Amino acid sequence: MYTVKQLAKLAGVSVRTLHYYDEIGLLKPSLVGGNGYRFYEVDAALKLQQILFYRELEMSLADIKAVVSRPDFDVQTALRSHKVTLQGRIERLNRLVQTVDDTIDHLKKGNETMNVKKLFEGFSEEEQEKYALEAEQMYDPGIVRASNRKWKAYTPTERESILTEGNAIYADLISVMSRGAASAEAQALVARWHKHMQYFWSPNDEQLAGLADMYNDDPRFRDNFDKLHPKLAEFMRAAVKEYVRKRKK
């Protein structure tokens, strides 16, 4: 048996977190003493581990509760699934680290002939696809499903070509930042980016602006843009807003 304080310390969470999980029925203590103290057995500790794994995967507490409460939920199967997912994350993070090192080396040496593609090697196909799809989830889940089907219908060669084109647009945007978001060059690149989005879905003006906002406001996206250039996300938002404004005239 572990007290709530002992389990919280072992798991690296707060006592309040365990109290809250109890309140919402996500993780009940194995025993509540006559004095009201909560006690947890090993099975409860294993369930807490599952909850924390799913939280790491950014699942909501409601979704986690639905999963771990299923009669057919199997801890070993879940652990194997977590392992595969985490290994994928490790591989992606290793690629990002290598991309950062390559870019630092490029900047130190001033190597103008560096293949631009190397600047984006740390961004997986899944990450690039998420950029185009995530904004849709704020509007219509049907669009998300249609876009997924559209993307998966492309051949591997077509996907590579699409991603290379997208990477080139971001690189070109960086190259014209000094000319301003409203410049003809920047606006032409935003138009290219808008056309590029058609490979995934057909965003309207509101969704285009929302996507640019998300690049700035969502830390997951902002971090990736910052790795390319610390002001790219901000510049892109300004350029997209100007693009949308002109289209409304």
Q: Which stretches of 12-150 are assigned E, i.e. beta strand?
A: 31-32, 38-40
Residue type, 113: T
Question: Average pLDDT over the chain, rounded to whole?
Answer: 80
Residue 233 has pLDDT above 50, yes or no: yes
Tens of pLDDT along 64-111? Answer: 888 888 888 888 888 887 777 777 778 777 877 877 777 777 777 665
CA distance 77 to 83: 10
- Report which of 203, 195, 190 is spatially closest to residue 238, judged by C-alpha positions: 190
pLDDT computed for residue 126 by the predictor: 56
The dihedral region occupied by 241, where left means phi > 0, alpha psi between -120 and 50, and beta the remainder, is alpha
Return the CATH architecture of domain 123-248: Orthogonal Bundle (1.10)
More confident residue, 126 or 71: 71
Residue 230 has pLDDT above 70, yes or no: yes
More confident residue, 113 or 239: 239
Residue 25 has pLDDT above 90, yes or no: yes
CA distance 218 to 220: 6
Tens of pLDDT along 182-210? Answer: 999 999 999 999 998 888 878 888 888 88
pLDDT computed for residue 162 by the predictor: 83
2-68 is a CATH 1.10.1660.10 domain: yes
**Model-level pTM greater than 0.85?**
no
Look-up: residue for tokens 């969470």? 13
pLDDT computed for residue 67 by the predictor: 85
Among residues of the chain, what percentage have pLDDT more than 90? 27
Which sequence spans correspond to the domains of the chain? 2-68, 74-121, 123-248
